[in-house]
């Protein structure tokens, strides 16, 4: 049987569809229960054709991470473009937007063990901390008035706290009615680190 040949536009559309479908599946069912056959079917291709795009499931996961990361960085750029100064309120709104559903990243839905397995099978894969630092550096480069002593590790820790609150399986130990306040407070700490604390 001859392999299916797609032109560049069709190939890009199918690949984007698979990446989006894969992300949704992992978010809703977890990596273990995400089947390549289902992703291929949802994207309108045969299971065998999937491997014309990705070498393995791990390669697919890495591609989803890169795809979502590029979307997030593009959204940051659109927000910050051509601004010579970004106010504290604007930084707060941007950070709040970055934690919205529109900017979800795959790491929030992978366990540490699953990340370790992907790294093991994809030796050229950039580790989560390197991705995080790259995103933070890009974010800061677009805020001309950012705090020059801003510590990217502090920002990552705050970001992970928000991810835990938003995505932790057992949130029964949290008071649900104040979770939004908790997230806003952490975003405020992120803004303090990015802009610096005003001295009155």
Of 99, 53, 54, the C-alpha closest to 76 is: 99
Domains and CATH numbers, the chain: 1-54 (1.10.10.60), 70-195 (no CATH)
Of 166, 53, 155, 170, the C-alpha closest to 94 is: 155
64-71 mean pLDDT: 89
Give the whole-number percent of the chain exceeding pLDDT 70.
92
Structure token pair of residue 5: 């040949």
Tell me the pLDDT band of 5, cut-offs 50, 70 and 90.
Answer: low
pLDDT tens, residue by residue, 174-195: 888 888 999 999 999 999 999 9
Of 110, 19, 35, the C-alpha closest to 70 is: 19
SS (H, E, C) 70-81: HHHHHHHHHHHC
pLDDT of residue 69: 85
160-178 mean pLDDT: 77
Whole-prediction pTM value?
Answer: 0.75
**pLDDT: which is higher, 2 or 187:** 187
Task: Tell me the pLDDT of the chain averaged across its residues.
Answer: 85
| Angle (nearest 5°) at CA 188 between 183 and 193 | 125
pLDDT of residue 139: 86
Is 60 exceeded by the pLDDT of residue 72? yes
pLDDT of residue 16: 93
Cα separation, 13 vs 119, in Å, equals 27
Q: Which range (59-68, 91-100, 111-120) has the least confidence?
A: 111-120
pLDDT of residue 134: 84
pLDDT of residue 157: 92
Is there a contact between 193 and 155 (Cβ–Cβ < 8 Å)?
yes
77 half-sphere exposure, CB direction, 13 A CA radius: 8
Is 70 exceeded by the pLDDT of residue 128? yes
Residue appearing with tokens 């937007």 = 97
Cα separation, 32 vs 44, in Å, equals 22
Of 166, 177, 155, 61, the C-alpha closest to 103 is: 166
**pLDDT: which is higher, 79 or 73:** 73
Helix, strand, coil shares, percent, the chain, to 5: 70, 0, 30
pLDDT tens, residue by residue, 83-93: 778 889 989 99
Of 158, 159, 134, 22, the C-alpha closest to 70 is: 134
28-32 mean pLDDT: 91
Of 161, 149, 154, 150, the C-alpha closest to 185 is: 161
Is there a contact between 165 and 174 (Cβ–Cβ < 8 Å)?
yes
pLDDT of residue 200: 42
16 half-sphere exposure, CB direction, 13 A CA radius: 8
């Amino acid at each position: 049987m001859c392999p299916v040949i797609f032109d560049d536009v069709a190939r890009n559309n199918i690949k984007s569809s698979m990446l989006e479908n894969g992300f949704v599946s992992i978010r809703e069912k977890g990596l273990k229960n995400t089947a390549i056959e289902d992703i291929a079917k949802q994207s309108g291709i045969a299971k065998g054709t999937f491997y014309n795009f990705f070498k393995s499931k791990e390669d697919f996961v890495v591609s989803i991470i890169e795809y979502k990361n590029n979307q997030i960085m593009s959204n940051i750029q659109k927000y910050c473009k051509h601004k010579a100064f970004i106010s504290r309120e604007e930084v707060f709104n941007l950070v709040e937007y970055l934690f919205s559903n529109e900017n979800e990243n795959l790491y929030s839905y992978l366990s540490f063990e699953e990340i370790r397995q992907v790294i093991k099978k994809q030796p050229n894969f950039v580790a989560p901390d390197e991705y995080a630092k790259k995103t933070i550096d890009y974010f800061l480069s677009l805020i001309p008035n950012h705090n020059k002593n801003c510590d990217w590790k502090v920002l990552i820790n705050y970001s992970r706290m928000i991810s835990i609150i938003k995505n932790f399986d057992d949130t029964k130990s949290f008071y649900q009615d104040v979770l939004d306040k908790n997230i806003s407070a952490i975003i405020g700490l992120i803004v303090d680190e990015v802009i610096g604390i005003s001295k009155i």
